[in-house]
Structure 1
């Protein structure tokens, strides 16, 4: 990875893109420390740290939420808007047709996604400003409007930065925003880990946990790069005097087809009741019992979390990959899987393979997501760097390095052809 970055800096065009991306990172981190006007930053610190959705907001915003900075909501509204648009594209034929129109259709969907981001940012910032009444030095209409305007503008600016990185920099801008925010919290996570150690020599459990996390990183890389290649053979066909087809290829089915989406959905759903409760004070009675059962640190909460990850892995994969559509496209182009007849047998074969792969990927996701929490309970230490963050960081790093390598290969071929 470091060799790839070093070689990329030797190419003027790539060096310019990398420097531009680093400058955008600097702007992101600056915005994470510019506080929203009229806000008391100490008031919100009590709402973070309980493992709920607010804790996730704080991690994904690089600590901006705990500082109540302009980028307090991070890029979360954009991600939510994108997920909603992906789901609606499958459910609404008009949007599906728009997506198939090519570049023009994608631009229209991107425009709708941006408007959706602003609407969600307004709703989310309104909920934060009204629910967390102690957030402001003086709680009144003016301070609430200022808070809503500032946080919405911050999210819109982050969305713009993400699009600029994608266009003028290296990698997917939105993913890199989350990446740099999570990475920026690592020193605080290590410090929190050290301070929460209860043994005599605090350094030993910290070193043990760092070694375990290094092994987890290797496992995440293995899961992210793992794929099942389904062989496909295309029959030869004559068109005029030319022969087409006859080549062999494959359908790459990734082990982790759903990415980090199942973990985000599961943790958000599991932490939602506790997060809402935080806005209204300490829970009492039966509701307090339910909240405790849903905490991921408990065995019941961990089991529910595990089941939700499995469910969302299958659900999201069924939306993004359609075996019937793949089988029909293969049949139209004269392709077939060796030993499998075209049509329904191909659909059944792909569905069977997909179900097995999704199960393996979902189990791996659940293990990675739950292991930091289980280790924290076992060592009686506060591990703020969760499995979700680990999957995102490793996944984004792999995809960015792949993109850099592909651009280096393109320039290598270009030079070869010109020579």
Structure 2
């Protein structure tokens, strides 16, 4: 990857794209330092420090925002609304015929879907901004404002705070589009990558602070954590590049004096084709009970709701088990929605191709379905291990690295995808073509 970046830097066109991407990321990080008015940053820091292990939805949003959410800055919502909107529209594309037709209309259809996604993200940002504001009121995160008996000041404060959050989310989407047009890689993914990477030095300094305490426990655990994270990076890279290659053979056709077809090729099926989406789905579902507590307050001890919240805490074994099962279920759901074995079998038959030893038609689609089921299970278990292992490690060591696995998965996936994009652009640039 370092060699790919070095070679890309030597190409003037790619160097301009890299510098432009870096410039947009700098603007995004500056926006993450702009405070939202009427908010008490000290109270917010205290609240997040005490609730970061609770497993609520805001902890997940804090990861997506690169720490901006816990500081309640202009970029607090960051890429969260747009990612959620993309997931919703992508799933609805397979469920609603009008959206499915748009997805098959080429470039114009994709532009229309992109507009729908942005409007959906705007609606989600409004809701999340309002929910964050209500939560800040419950935890005394707002600065004291002396009201004169009229509700105008209270509503004005609420509108200003919510609009600041929505403006930051809209600016994030706009910056991501600029990277898509003039930079390298997927814009939203690059901003998400930059936000997570920006928290890296803070995490490393936190580990060194633990070692400075001089406790024998910390002196042993910190090197173990570093080794574990390095092994996780290697494991994620291996699984991201892993694929099952199904051999395909095309029949020979003779037209006049020329022979067409007859070549052998393969269809690659990636092991982790769904990426981090199943983890996001499962994390959103698991965070519902703890998030509701932020709106309803602490329940009375001994009630059913109090027991339910206890079961959905990070430290409870039920949380880890259900989280693992949901990741597997959502992975199967996403793959079934985005991968159609019947369509692949029909395309092969129309192009006089087939799997050696398998008859065309339904036997071929059944064969693809069987292979896909095995691969999906392997990919789901891989995602489950990445998501569950840091939680188990956190419970054992009492050190907060519960979100580390998801963050590493996002960072490595975006880095690999960006490296592949640079390699493909360099290959196209150096390809001489058939005229030379």
Query: What TM-score do the two structures reach when normalised by structure 1?
Result: 0.95
**1:1-20 paired onto structure 2 within 5 Å:** 1-20=1-20
1:56 to 52, 57, 60: 60
Where does residue 426 of structure 2 map in the other structure? 408
Where does residue 167 of structure 2 map in the other structure? 153
C-alpha distance in 2, partners of 1:163/1:258? 23
Where does residue 267 of structure 1 map in the other structure? 283
Q: 1:72 to 1:255 in 2, by over 3 A?
A: same
Query: What TM-score do the two structures reach when normalised by structure 2?
Result: 0.92
Pairing 1:287–2:305 present:
yes
Residues 299-331 of structure 1, C-alpha deviations (whole Å, 9 max, x = no match): 111100110011001000000101111111111
- Give the SS at the match of 2:247: strand
Contact 2:387/2:406 (CA < 8 Å) preserved in 1? yes
1:97 CA displacement: 1.3
Residues 236-280 of structure 1, C-alpha deviations (whole Å, 9 max, x = no match): 234566443222221111111111111111111111210221233
- Corresponding pairs, count: 418
- Give the SS at the match of 1:232: strand
C-alpha distance in 1, partners of 2:281/2:207? 26
The RMSD of aligned alpha carbons is 1.8
Residues 109-134 of structure 1, C-alpha deviations (whole Å, 9 max, x = no match): 11111111111111111121134313
1:170 CA displacement: 0.6
- Give the SS at the match of 2:296: coil
Moved more, 180-189 or 192-201: 192-201
Where does residue 141 of structure 2 map in the other structure? 135
1:101 to 99, 105, 111: 105
The runs of 5 or more residues in structure 2 that have no matched partner are: 146-152
1:340 CA displacement: 0.4
Residues 11-57 of structure 1, C-alpha deviations (whole Å, 9 max, x = no match): 10000000011111111111111011222223333144133211111
C-alpha distance in 2, partners of 1:67/1:44? 7
**1:164-313 paired onto structure 2 within 5 Å:** 164-195=178-209, 200-201=215-216, 202-239=218-255, 242-284=258-300, 285-313=303-331
Residues 138-196 of structure 1, C-alpha deviations (whole Å, 9 max, x = no match): 38111110011111111011001111111111111111111111111112223344556
C-alpha distance in 2, partners of 1:118/1:220? 33
C-alpha distance in 1, partners of 2:123/2:12? 40
Q: 1:331 to 1:190 in 2, by over 3 A?
A: same
Contact 2:134/2:295 (CA < 8 Å) preserved in 1? no
Contact 1:52/1:275 (CA < 8 Å) preserved in 2? yes
1:380 to 390, 394, 398: 398
Contact 2:250/2:354 (CA < 8 Å) preserved in 1? yes
C-alpha distance in 2, partners of 1:375/1:254? 28
C-alpha distance in 2, partners of 1:10/1:191? 34
C-alpha distance in 2, partners of 1:118/1:230? 42
C-alpha distance in 2, partners of 1:334/1:363? 36
C-alpha distance in 1, partners of 2:402/2:290? 18
Where does residue 148 of structure 2 map in the other structure? none
C-alpha distance in 2, partners of 1:418/1:371? 54
C-alpha distance in 2, partners of 1:295/1:196? 25
- Give the SS at the match of 2:287: helix
1:199 CA displacement: 7.2
C-alpha distance in 1, partners of 2:233/2:123? 36
Contact 2:135/2:294 (CA < 8 Å) preserved in 1? no
C-alpha distance in 2, partners of 1:259/1:381? 26
C-alpha distance in 2, partners of 1:42/1:268? 27
The runs of 5 or more residues in structure 1 that have no matched partner are: none
- Give the SS at the match of 1:9: helix
